[in-house]
Amino acid sequence: MVNQFGQDYKGYFQLEPWHDPNNEYWAQIYMRRRISQAIDHCKNCTSTDKFIVAALSQNGSGFDWKSAEELSTVGPNLFWRKEKSGVIRWDAYFDERIAKKGYRGWFDTRHQLDLFANFVWKLKSENWYVPSDLKWNDIIWPLVYDTYSP
């Protein structure tokens, strides 16, 4: 903070009072912040990518803004994204996390996406707004054909 804003940084910022995260009102505010942070750090992401990032980031420490920033990284050694504006190969990303973390990797990725997608699909059926350019096949496909069974 000092490096970015100088010695008087406390004059620009004020800590908010403590709030009970188990309180429904504050829980939804904290969740919105958590999801927004992750989406904001997903660079060159499509609506579908942002949807999946939102699904994964609502799961506590399993996926956060640093994970979303990692998704924005490109390189020839990354299986999930080889080019800056290229698509994120979510199946490859999930498979890598599952290979590294086993059941926890499955729970943090495919399971969380399944829960989130089912809930959003229900809201969509009740005429809630859902972006029209979501590629549901990219969201649902890995779940339908998921071969990992915990």
Give per-residue pLDDT as tens, 45-89: 889 999 999 999 987 677 888 888 888 776 666 777 777 667 788
Q: Is residue 7 part of a domain?
A: no
Nearest to 109 by CA among 62, 48, 39, 46: 62
Share of the chain above pLDDT 70, in %: 87
In a domain, 71, yes or no: yes
Q: Is the pLDDT of residue 140 over 60?
A: yes
Q: Could you tell me if residue 149 is inside a domain?
A: no
H helices within the chain, ranges in order? Answer: 2-5, 24-40, 47-57, 65-72, 90-101, 103-106, 112-125, 136-144
Does residue 115 belong to any structural domain of this protein? yes
pTM of the complete model: 0.78
Domain count along the chain: 1
Q: Which domain holds residue 78?
A: 19-144
pLDDT confidence of 1, banded at 50, 70, 90?
A: low
Report yes or no on 12 lying in a domain.
no
Residue 35: HSE in the Cβ half-sphere, 13 Å Cα cutoff: 17
With respect to residue 128, please indicate whether it lies within any of the assigned structural domains.
Answer: yes
